[in-house]
Structure 1
């Protein structure tokens, strides 16, 4: 199993520049905008504001599901559809990003989804 908490090597992005404000795209549309990101090894993830389609909700998106980063277009494309990401363990507050139990739960959820067939 790949590391869900690290950007895939083929993405060509390892946390070099901030992604805050980038639009996050899924195979079926826009997910939202990157509010914050964590680049600590073993815990790399994005916190995405989804107010464009789910009023007032943020989601934690592990770096391992990032498919591509386009710095010129300011977009991050992820591998899974919006409904799969929306069904992930609920992100309610920032301190959860430091909670081992929460991160384990999120990691298990995405590992169980596996890789989508194609983008």
Structure 2
């Protein structure tokens, strides 16, 4: 992953302005959910992923730096995390935490533990 967890990796294939809403999200060990919302705001890019298939009604916030690849034809986003790492992420409330810098710091600390060197 790049040093900026809140930006898409250059190798991810992300194109600025692309709409990833509805794309399936693939963890390193299988499918985990669908993109409900995304932001490509510089320094604060993220995906909100509905993992309700795994835990009823649960959404998680994934920093854009966790995205390792995007397949636009198959409408899939591949992330450098396991399903358990995603499921065990800090509780997320999309009405409260989406733009909260304190929550973003908490998320960065959590996902920063899994960064590949």
The CA deviation string for residues 7-37 of structure 1, in whole angstroms up to 9 with x for no partner, is 0011121433100000000111111000000
Counterpart of 2:58?
57
Find the residue that maps to 1:98 and give its secondary structure: coil
Instruction: Tell me the distance in 1 between the aligned counterparts of 2:104 and 2:72.
Output: 27
Q: How many residues align?
A: 116
Gaps of 5+ in 2: none
Q: Would you say the 8 A contact 1:22–1:33 is kept in 2?
A: yes
Calculate the aligned-residue CA RMSD, in Å: 1.5
Match of 1:111 in 2: 112
Question: Gaps spanning 5+ residues in structure 1: where?
Answer: none
TM-score by length of 2: 0.92
Measure how far apart 1:95 and its partner are.
Answer: 3.0
Which runs of at least 4 in structure 1 moved beyond 3 Å after TM superposition? none
Q: Tell me: CA distance 1:37–1:66, structure 2 relative to 1, closer, same or farther (3 Å).
A: same
